């Protein structure tokens, strides 16, 4: 097995992610929702691009992820897929399209795969949606699980605070993680849980465990692109590291453009026909 670096232009596959875990190579994952950003993120060498239902917050301006529809996720998935050559692309199944029954889950996942050409889907939850996940897996569609803070359940949780701090919830999470691996999920996202618990799960599972707010003991990290690039300027939880201040850069650039238009400085003689 050769090392899989960001310079390696071969397409990332679910199988390759499992090899990366076996070799102890960390997996990078970031969200994208549109063609232009997905192209840049793929060119940078990202391993996995998540077309997250966080599009509901950062693209559509909703307070939660719940309003996102299957058609909207397919629109974002298609846009991203046109740009990506290397990264594995995962599309989130939106709230209400898989929890009802396995057949509904199956047809939602099939629509995502047929219409976006993405590589796989992600679903939030454990034992409660086991049959839905199994039905999707039966169709040969790879599934990434998502446990811990699952934003589609925010109305049940009532808060975005750290999950699984209590023994009973931690035990259920460990059981769910093992179940997801046993039924055939190829990877798992753990969101906002204690670092020690996330490490325990990553150590016990053979499939890659990708964390967000779950510490450094897991097999990879995922962030929401608008948060880490500083586009979403008002959101600064403890787990977030900002790699740029694009929001301030945009406000400054747009302000300069406004001033140049108002003053008549733009366009000049060279900027006209
Ligand atoms: O929708 C999303 O962006 C996600 C990540 C937070 C993992 O599910």
pLDDT tens digits for range 85-139:
999 999 999 999 999 999 999 999 999 999 999 999 999 999 999 999 999 999 9
Q: What is the DSSP letter of 7?
A: T
At residue 110, φ and ψ (nearest 5 deg) are -65, -40
Query: Is the pLDDT confidence value at 31 over 60?
Result: yes
53 lines ligand 1 (CB under 6 A): yes
Mean pLDDT of 218-243: 96
- Among the atoms of ligand 1, which is closest to the Cα of residue 189? 7
- SS3 label, residue 143: strand
The contacts of residue 223 (CB under 8 Å, 6+ apart) are: 30, 31, 212, 240, 241
Q: Whose CA is nearest to atom 1 of ligand 1?
A: 52
For residue 272, the CA-to-ligand 1 centroid distance in Å is 44
Q: How far is CA 84 from CA 18, 88, 92, 270, in A?
A: 21, 8, 17, 36
92 lines ligand 1 (CB under 6 A): yes
Proportion of the chain above pLDDT 90, given as a percent: 96
Query: Is the pLDDT confidence value at 248 over 80?
Result: yes
Q: Which of 146, 53, 37, 49 is nearest to 93 (CA)?
A: 53
Q: Which one of 56, 187, 191 would you pick to mutate in the ligand 1 pocket, going by the greatest count of ligand atoms within 8 A of its CB?
A: 191
Q: Look over the chain and give the mean of its residue pLDDT values, rounded to a whole number.
A: 97
Proportion of the chain above pLDDT 70, given as a percent: 99
Q: Which one of 52, 152, 227 would you pick to mutate in the ligand 1 pocket, going by the greatest count of ligand atoms within 8 A of its CB?
A: 52
Query: Is the pLDDT confidence value at 226 over 60?
Result: yes
Are 185 and 143 a contacting pair, CB within 8 Å? Answer: yes
Q: What is the value of pTM for the model shown? A: 0.96
pLDDT band at 234 (very low <50, low <70, confident <90, very high): confident
Candidate list 115, 131, 191, 271, residue with the active-site label: 191
Mean pLDDT of 49-65: 98
Q: Which residue in this structure is represented by tokens 């939030």? A: 124
Residue 127 confidence (pLDDT):
98
pLDDT, tens only, 81-98 = 999 999 999 999 999 999
Residue 176 confidence (pLDDT):
98
Residue 8 confidence (pLDDT):
80
Q: Which residue in this structure is represented by tokens 């300027």? A: 233
Q: Which residue in this structure is represented by tokens 């060279």? A: 270
DSSP secondary structure string for all residues of the chain: -----TT--SPP-HHHHHHHHHHTPPEEEEE--SHHHHHHHHHTT-SEEEE-TTHHHHTT--SSSTT--HHHHHHHHHHHHHH-SSSEEEEEPPTTSSSS-HHHHHHHHHHHHHHH--SEEE---SGGGHHHHHHHHHTT--EEEEEES-GGGHHHH-S-SPP--SHHHHHHHHHHHHHHHHHT-SEEEEES--HHHHHHHHHH-SS-EEEESS-SSSSEEEE-HHHHTTSSTT---TT------HHHHHHHHHHHHHHHHHHT-SS-GGG--
Query: Is the pLDDT confidence value at 2 over 80?
Result: no
Q: Which of 15, 1, 2 is nearest to 207 (CA)?
A: 15
Residue 5 confidence (pLDDT):
73
Residue 1 confidence (pLDDT):
53
Tokens of 75: 């629109």
Query: Is the pLDDT confidence value at 3 over 70?
Result: no
Residue 4 confidence (pLDDT):
66
Verify whether residue 191 is a known catalytic residue: yes
Tokens of 141: 């569609």
pLDDT, tens only, 144-178 = 999 999 999 999 999 999 999 999 999 999 999 99
212 lines ligand 1 (CB under 6 A): yes
The contacts of residue 246 (CB under 8 Å, 6+ apart) are: 229, 230, 231
Q: Which of 103, 58, 113 is nearest to 224 (CA)?
A: 58
Residue 7 confidence (pLDDT):
74
222 lines ligand 1 (CB under 6 A): yes
Q: How many angstroms separate the CA atoms of 188 and 27, rounded?
A: 12
189 lines ligand 1 (CB under 6 A): yes
């Amino acid at each position: 097995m050769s090392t899989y670096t960001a310079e390696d232009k071969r397409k990332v596959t679910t199988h390759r992610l499992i090899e990366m875990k076996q070799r102890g190579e960390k997996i990078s994952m970031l969200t994208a929702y549109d063609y232009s950003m997905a192209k840049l993120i793929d060119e940078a060498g990202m391993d996995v691009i998540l077309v997250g239902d966080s599009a509901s917050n950062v693209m559509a301006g909703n307070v939660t992820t719940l309003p996102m529809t299957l058609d909207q996720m397919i629109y974002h998935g298609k846009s991203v897929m046109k740009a990506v050559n290397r990264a594995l692309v995962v599309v989130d199944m939106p709230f209400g399209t898989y929890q009802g029954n396995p057949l509904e889950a199956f047809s939602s996942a099939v629509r995502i795969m047929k219409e976006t050409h993405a590589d796989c889907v992600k679903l939030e939850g454990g034992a409660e949606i086991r049959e839905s996940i199994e039905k999707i897996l039966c169709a040969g569609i790879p599934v990434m699980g998502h446990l811990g803070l699952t934003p589609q359940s925010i109305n049940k949780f009532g808060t975005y605070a750290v999950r699984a701090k209590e023994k009973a919830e931690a035990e259920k999470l460990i059981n769910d993680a093992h179940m997801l691996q046993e039924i055939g999920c190829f990877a798992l996202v753990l969101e906002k849980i204690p670092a020690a618990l996330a490490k325990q799960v990553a150590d016990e599972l053979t499939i890659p465990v990708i964390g967000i707010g779950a510490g450094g003991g897991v097999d990879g990290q995922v962030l929401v692109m608008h948060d880490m690039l500083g586009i979403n300027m008002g959101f600064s939880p403890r787990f977030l590291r900002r790699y740029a201040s694009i929001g301030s850069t945009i406000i400054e650039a747009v302000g300069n453009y406004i001033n140049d238009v108002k003053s008549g400085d733009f366009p000049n003689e060279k900027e006209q026909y």
